[in-house]
Amino acid sequence: MSADAALDLNAIVITPENIQFEYRLAGPFRRLPAFLLDLMVRAAVLVALIIFFFCSGITRLLPGLDVFGGILLALSYFFFDWFYGLFFETLWNGQTPGKRISGLRVLSTDGRPISAYQATIRNFLRLGDFAPFASLQMLIAEAPPVYWMPTGGVAILCMFLTRRLQRLGDLAAGTMVVIDERKWVPPKLKLNEPAINALVPAIAPNFRMSRTMLRTVAMYVERRSRVLPQRRRELAAILTKEIIDKVGVAATTDPDLLLCALYKREYDAQWKGNAISDKPIGSDKPTGKEFGSTLASAPRGN
């Protein structure tokens, strides 16, 4: 990425086959909910282990356990805590439960899935990322000098200094955390204005939007309610003035309503089975049935 490129939270990966992928990076604040969720899972497991060891009566059944139960409990939790990230990230292709819920994934910096080796490195270095550790004594003179509070200063500093927002563990393992792109589905929107409904049949049956145009129009229709009416028309006119001849409606048609009508027609065709047919306009020519699948495979940002 050149220094002049507009700043964004993107990482561009070019494969040996010269295919370019663009990933959206997750920084410390995007990762925080996933981290907290994983912390909750680990805490829940710790509580479950305590309940199991001390309340299930297992220590009475097995006499040795009343002596070694505490040690066994500590060891069990130690292994769970240290191998939690390693286990899930290896098994679930770079995701832990927290990351899965938050829509994040760990990838190698070259775009490939992470290996068990990388998962091990990045999870074992988590302790380094938590540093420096603070003690309550730093704030209250009478408190004992036990340095147990992780500040995460190292992680924040590393993410601040690296372009891919990598913490220490990521740097060592050659990984990055990205936002897991879900398949794009056309948003279901209520477009019941009579003027829009009236406009739909007036659209030339042979006019079809390309997949990129459909995504843009979908975005417009989704966000138009937040834009002032006058500005809406200005925005919609940018596109409608180019396509209005092909759409076959009067030149005086309200551009905002026209884009809504175009979207409604495409959406109804896909989701309600109202077939629209004939030859599509544009280089990529999805048929009605291909609608969803072509959109899902369309590259992000188009």
- Return the residue of 188, 226, 272, 279 that touches other proteins, per CB under 8 A: 226
How many C-alpha atoms does 194 have within 13 Å on its Cβ side?
0
What are the CA-CA distances from residue 167 to residues 48, 90, 164, 172, 201 (Å)? 31, 19, 9, 9, 55
Q: How far is CA 225 from the centre of its chain?
A: 25
* Binding of other proteins by 47 (CB under 8 A): no
- Return the residue of 73, 134, 189, 191 that touches other proteins, per CB under 8 A: 134
- Return the residue of 158, 213, 247, 262 that touches other proteins, per CB under 8 A: 213
| 257, 185 contact by CB (below 8 A) | no
Residues pairing with 108 in the sheet: 175
* Binding of other proteins by 135 (CB under 8 A): yes
- Return the residue of 51, 71, 161, 296 that touches other proteins, per CB under 8 A: 161
What are the CA-CA distances from residue 70 to residues 82, 84, 85, 207 (Å)? 18, 21, 24, 73
Name which of 45 and 134 has its Cβ closer to other proteins: 134
Residues pairing with 149 in the sheet: 134
User: Both tokens of residue 153?
Assistant: 């200063």
In the complex, what is the shortest distance from the CB of residue 216 to other proteins, in angstroms, rounded to a whole number? 5
Measured CA to CA, the distance from residue 236 to residue 233 in angstroms comes to 5
Name which of 228 and 251 has its Cβ closer to other proteins: 228
Number of residues that bind other proteins (CB under 8 A): 53
Binding region for other proteins (CB under 8 A): 6-10, 25-30, 32-33, 132, 134-135, 137-139, 141, 145, 149, 151-153, 156, 159-161, 165, 210, 212-213, 216, 219-220, 223-224, 226-228, 231-232, 235-236, 238-239, 241-243, 281-283
